[in-house]
Amino acid sequence: MFKRVIHTIIFFVLFLVASGQTSKKQIQVRNADNLTYDESKNSAKVLSGHVICEHEGALLYCDTAYIYSETNQMIARGNILITKGDSITVTGDRLLYDGKTRIATLERNVKCVEKDMTLTTNLLTFDVGASVANYYNGGTIVNKENTLVSKNGHYYSATKEATFHYDVVLTNPDYKMNSDTLKYKVPTRTSYFLGPSIILSKSDYIYCENGWYDTNKENAAFSKNAVLVTSQQKLRGDSLFYDRTLKYGRAFRNVTMVDTSQKSIIYGDYVEYRELKSEALVTKKAIYARILEEDTVFIAADTLYHRDIDSVNNFLNAFHHVKIFKKNLQAICDSATMNTQDSLMQLFNTPVLWSTNAQATSKIIKVDIGKNKIKGFHLEGKAFLIQQVDSLHNKDKYNQLAGKTIDGIITEDSIRRVIVSGSAEIMYYPKNESKLIGLNKTGCTEIYMWLKKGEMDRVAMKPKTEGNIDPVKDVDIENAKLKGFNWQYSKRPLSRFELHSKPKEGLKN
């Protein structure tokens, strides 16, 4: 970014250093149409008309020059041109060089050119003793690819560092950068941002208040409110690392990544992002949040992998200690996937799903998340659905369904209909209005259950069977459970703030 831009200042500084180091030697006059002495100005040599002076290999052309031999000072005016070999030319309207203080000053329409590089300013000073060049009234550096503008600029020859202050703007065909303070180290070709800074390109936007940019390797690190924005993602963290060539970024601590097209956010303390594939790997308290209607579903895991399939759809993989929370739906498992293309979320490895007062388990749980709301679920392999009869008065009584598969239809965030297929079994407590009649246990091929306000409303079986009802007083609670019964309420996430906390062992509802 700056590896050629800064050369203009460097070569000009080297010229001034050379002049300052030999300041004890007198300036030689090569040519002048007129030469007089001005007694009123300390016997200054007054040169005019096609003036050419030489000082240690550097040539000075101007219209008029005043040379003060005693004080080793020179003032030049009009069409000033300074050349040193073939490397650099400097032009301006006025030049003052003081050999005692070793400070050179160029004023008005100052232009310094080195090959295709040009520095323009109205006032440029150089402290030869401290090897520091400065401009304070605005300066512009231009080459074929870059234009840098700032109010103040400083170059430190001893450390080969350049610093630009106030309204710093760098324009490049690929990006534009605005900064409050910019520091550049010549040997490493690295820029340092020391204030609010913005880098804007056709494909991304970067903001930070502190950071660095290696112009040789095209990679950078940003901190203090660092933000990286692409066409589909917005990545924020305490610190960001970004490789512009590879389009690869990393974010550390308090990271958020917003997918604007899908209304989703990923949280974590470490994120790797690959812009070309639009994919991210998130670890350390990783959480995915997606807005569904007026609610939000949160998915937490040790590791999250997120990828945009296209401009509309995305894919999520969650690995290890997965927890899911939505106001009326929660789940746990060891791995999960979610694909907005087919609106399907799948839970693997001992998954458990809860909705209101019901719990579902099976080998695999599939949830139809829809485009804006959850529509239903499918339990596959050793499917088991448990519904607590009455959490207040009958904590130990459960309606139970088991079979090869169970399908549930969800409306307004509540389970409204359940279908059990294959070796279907049911154990439930029928009611007479609000009073329990007893316990019914039966088996059949298929079972259909309808629920109302979270409670069982009616049941149908295929082939039709009535089963046997044991009176409530005769029910043995310990034996009133189907094979595979495992009520796991203590593992249920109760809020999104508990997604990365350990379950409270032994907790009962």
Domain layout of the chain by residue ranges: 359-498
Query: Between these two residues, 219 and 56, which has the higher pLDDT value?
Result: 219
DSSP 145: S
- Is the pLDDT assigned to residue 30 strictly greater than 80? yes
> Can you tell me the mean pLDDT for 495-509?
64
> Can you tell me the mean pLDDT for 54-75?
82
Selection from 385, 446, 381, 382 nearest residue 415 by Cα: 385
The answer for residues whose C-beta is within 8 angstroms of residue 214's C-beta and 6 or more apart is 188, 189, 190, 220
- Is the pLDDT assigned to residue 397 strictly greater than 70? yes
Burial of 46 (0-12, 13-18, 19+ CB in 10 A): middle
Q: Residue 244's Cα: distance from chain center in Å?
A: 13
- Is the pLDDT assigned to residue 67 strictly greater than 80? yes
Q: According to the model, what pLDDT value does residue 16 have?
A: 46
> Can you tell me the mean pLDDT for 458-471?
81
CA–CA dist 186, 283 (Å, integer): 37
Q: According to the model, what pLDDT value does residue 56 have?
A: 67
Token pair of 124, please? 């440029």
C-alpha distances out from residue 391 to 165, 355, 399, 455, Å: 67, 14, 12, 11
Calculate the average pLDDT of the chain. 82
- Is the pLDDT assigned to residue 14 strictly greater than 70? no
Q: According to the model, what pLDDT value does residue 1 have?
A: 45
What is the share, in percent, of the chain residues with pLDDT greater than 90?
22
Q: Which residue has the tokens 């065909």?
A: 173
> Can you tell me the mean pLDDT for 454-465?
82
Q: According to the model, what pLDDT value does residue 176 have?
A: 86
Q: According to the model, what pLDDT value does residue 342 have?
A: 84
> Can you tell me the mean pLDDT for 25-30?
77
- Is the pLDDT assigned to residue 454 strictly greater than 80? no
Selection from 245, 223, 298, 238 nearest residue 271 by Cα: 238
123-138 tens-digit pLDDT: 988 775 666 778 888 9
* DSSP secondary structure string for all residues of 210-275: EEEEETTTTEEEEEEEEEEEESSEEEEEEEEEEETTTTEEEEEEEEEEEETTTTEEEEEEEEEEET
Confidence of residue 500 (pLDDT cuts 50, 70, 90): confident
Classified as helix, coil or strand, 3 is coil
Radius of gyration of the chain (CA): 39
pTM greater than 0.85 (yes/no):
no
Query: Between these two residues, 35 and 25, which has the higher pLDDT value?
Result: 35
Q: According to the model, what pLDDT value does residue 336 have?
A: 95
Question: Alpha helix locations (H) across 390-476?
Answer: none
165-221 tens-digit pLDDT: 998 988 878 788 889 898 888 777 788 888 888 888 887 888 888 988 887 788 889
59-62 own/partner pairs: CB under 8 Å, 24+ apart: 59/30, 59/83, 59/84, 60/27, 60/95, 62/95
CA–CA dist 369, 374 (Å, integer): 4
DSSP 467: -
- Is the pLDDT assigned to residue 451 strictly greater than 60? yes
Q: In 464-495, which positions are buried (b, 16+ CB within 10 angstroms) versus exposed (e)? A: eeebeeeeeeebeeeebbbeeeeeebebbbee
Confidence of residue 299 (pLDDT cuts 50, 70, 90): very high
341-381 tens-digit pLDDT: 888 899 999 999 998 888 999 999 999 887 777 888 999 99
Q: According to the model, what pLDDT value does residue 10 have?
A: 47
* DSSP secondary structure string for all residues of 99-121: TTTTEEEEEEEEEEEETTEEEEE
Confidence of residue 40 (pLDDT cuts 50, 70, 90): low
The answer for residues whose C-beta is within 8 angstroms of residue 448's C-beta and 6 or more apart is 417, 418, 419, 420, 459, 460, 461, 462
Selection from 18, 20, 17, 64 nearest residue 44 by Cα: 64
Q: According to the model, what pLDDT value does residue 504 have?
A: 52
Q: According to the model, what pLDDT value does residue 503 have?
A: 55
Token pair of 45, please? 């040599």
> Can you tell me the mean pLDDT for 383-405?
82
CA–CA dist 217, 79 (Å, integer): 41
C-alpha distances out from residue 108 to 123, 208, 252, 444, Å: 6, 35, 48, 98
Token pair of 412, please? 């307004």
CA–CA dist 226, 128 (Å, integer): 39
Confidence of residue 35 (pLDDT cuts 50, 70, 90): confident
Determine contact, residues 379/405, Cβ cutoff 8 Å: yes
Token pair of 216, please? 């040789």
Q: Which CATH architecture describes the domain 359-498?
A: Sandwich (2.60)
Please provide the distance, in angstroms rounded to a whole number, between the alpha carbons at the two ends of the chain: 62
- Is the pLDDT assigned to residue 82 strictly greater than 60? yes
Q: According to the model, what pLDDT value does residue 362 have?
A: 95
Q: Is the peptide bond before 471 cis (omega within 30 degrees of 0)?
A: no
Q: According to the model, what pLDDT value does residue 183 have?
A: 86
Burial of 173 (0-12, 13-18, 19+ CB in 10 A): exposed
Least confident of 95-109, 247-261, 495-509: 495-509
CA–CA dist 379, 403 (Å, integer): 9
409-414 own/partner pairs: CB under 8 Å, 24+ apart: 409/375, 409/376, 410/329, 410/355, 410/374, 410/375, 410/376, 410/377, 413/295, 413/326, 413/327, 413/328, 413/329, 413/355, 413/373, 413/374, 414/328, 414/355, 414/356, 414/451, 414/453, 414/454
CA–CA dist 288, 315 (Å, integer): 11
Residues in the chain: 509
